[in-house]
Amino acid sequence: MIALFILHIPLMNYLIAIDFLKVSDPILGQLIDQIGACQLNQQELEGDLFFCLCRSILHQQLSTKVAKVIHERFLRLYPHTQFPSAQDVLDTPDEVLRSVGISRPKISYLKDLARHAIEGLPTLEELEVLDDEAIIKILTRVKGVGRWTVQMLLIFRLKRWDVLPVDDLGIRAGIRKLYNLEALPDRKTTECFGQKWKPYCSIAAWYLWRSLEPLPQLV
């Protein structure tokens, strides 16, 4: 399976991936040249599966800036540990979680995730031998953990390099901007763009996200 052969891509294969994207999609290639080296391999979620999913839940439907602030406040509730455990979260009163800016629906998601973790979620090591769709099927059984949430785990923690989050607003906005579309592309259109990027959709996604930030000027 494609997802299994690029869990941790060697540097040479990484460069091959960039060259492939430039050839298969020259417009994306121009963006790659403007942004420079992809830093996706330097962006890795830390902690166990529970902690990674907590972070992804907190980031749902928020800007990166706002989500980062709330996540930092969340971590400060547990000064005794770098990564709060499932039991730590279950023992935290809802109103304390609300006080750091976490919405009530997300609190219920965090608590349900904590209960699943205590009852027995798979470990990251156990997930590594499964393909992407199998991982999505397992983890989306948890309340509040949807396909997008698992895809963030696949990209940033499990280092799967052929993941395209077609429902991600940033991805769709990046496509609209890069290809001068009149409106945001729908799921089907986004998937069509993704066909040109396989098996390196995760790298293409990183460049699309990065394109929405201030870009360096070419000399």
Find, among 150, 149, 160, the residue nearest to 206 by Cα: 160
Mean pLDDT of 12-37: 91
Question: Which of the four pLDDT bands, split at 50, 70 and 90, describes residue 11?
Answer: low
Instruction: Write out pLDDT tens, residues 65-122.
Output: 898 899 999 999 999 988 899 999 999 999 999 999 999 999 999 999 999 999 988 9
User: pTM for the full model?
Assistant: 0.83
Catalytic residue of the set 19, 25, 168, 186: 168
Which domains are assigned to the chain?
2-43+163-211 (1.10.1670.40), 49-156 (1.10.340.30)
**CA-CA distance, 133 to 89, in Å (whole number)?**
28
The question of whether 168 is a catalytic residue gets the answer yes
Mean pLDDT value across the chain: 89
Residue 30's Cβ-side half-sphere holds a number of Cα atoms within 13 Å equal to: 4
pLDDT of residue 4: 41
